Amino acid sequence: MDMVSLSDMTDQRFIKTHLHYHILPESVKTSGAKVLYVHRDGRDVCVSFYHFSRMLNIYKYRGSFADFRDNFMRGEIVHGPYREHVQGYLEHSDTVLCLTYEQMHQDRGSVVRKVADFLGVCLSDADVDDIAKNTSFEVMKANPDTNFRQWEDSGLVSGTEEGTFMRKGVVGDWRNYFTEEESETFLKWRNEEVAPLN
């Protein structure tokens, strides 16, 4: 779908972005648009983005994880700096529904209800169960409408040792990449200029 056809749409639409809050068009902030923001533990973001950067053919990152982590903490990555990205949305939680990946992983049904309430949509218990089931990582990874397999087909990503676009979908994979000391350093860095994010 191109921008012209998007602007011609009259009913509700869904737009996904990785933009910082301050970069969003003013119309998004002032029109009553519903904004949902999902963030996750920065250590898991760092690990996930490391693998994504190795898989995405326009990045072709081949450095070490340690170097990538240091770049991440300096804000020298696409969509960085991380802290400012998250804080920008959290500061507008009066108009933005802020959710965490960890919440979705732990109790998808209650998150579905939160989103429905925020959007003003009435759902039955069966609807909630159906949405929760169909938004599980396993189901979405197998679904061609949600698994980004077309990115592999187009050559944007390479199905390499890094795996597919949807890699693991777990909470806490950072433990396989960070030592205890590195984790403590990361958490101290994350919280030094912004409120704790978890």
Q: Which amino acid does the sequence have at 193? A: E
β partners of residue 96: 35
* Angle at alpha carbon of residue 108, lines to 110 and 33, rounded to 5°: 70
- Contact between 59 and 166 under an 8 Å Cβ cutoff? The reply is no
Q: In the chain, how long is the greatest CA-to-CA distance?
A: 53
Q: Is 105 a catalytic residue?
A: no
Structure tokens that stand for 112 in this block = 């579905």
* Angle at alpha carbon of residue 177, lines to 175 and 181, rounded to 5°: 75
Q: Is 163 helix (H, G, I), strand (E, B) or coil?
A: strand
Provide the annotated active-site residues.
18
